[in-house]
Amino acid sequence: MGFLALALLVSACSRSFDTLVFNPCEEPATVAFSNRILSADEAGWRRQITVGPVSARRVDEVFADADADSKGFIRVEVGDESPSIFEVALRGEEPYPAVIPASAC
């Protein structure tokens, strides 16, 4: 019984946040997520997805164990360009917007 109570307490304390990734590029973008800053080739990036050209994609429960009013990070690869890292503010209403800057295109 004690283990079950502890498991419920831990799951109640951890929270995942949703995001909406906007891709302004004319090519698809490959995006991965992290709660902390990582180098582009470092292990720890989670949930890699593809966002179509000039579109948006909602991703549920991607910033796991993040605190509200904190920040997350996305690693973005578009075409043959080197991966770029961008910050996502985890403030306001979910899903938090993650806008890929046009400079990444």
Tens-digit pLDDT profile for residues 67-90: 666 888 999 999 988 999 999 988
Domain boundaries, the chain: 16-104
DSSP the chain: -HHHHHHHHHHHH--EEEEEEEE-SSS-EEEEEESS---TTSTT-EEEEEE-TTEEEEEEEEEETPPTTEEEEEEEEETTSPPEEEEEEE-SSSSEEEEPPGGG-
Q: Name the pTM for this structure.
A: 0.79
Note the pLDDT tens digit of each residue in 11-35. Answer: 445 567 889 999 999 999 999 999 8
Q: What percent of the chain stands above pLDDT 90?
A: 47
Annotation: CATH topology of 16-104:
Immunoglobulin-like (2.60.40)
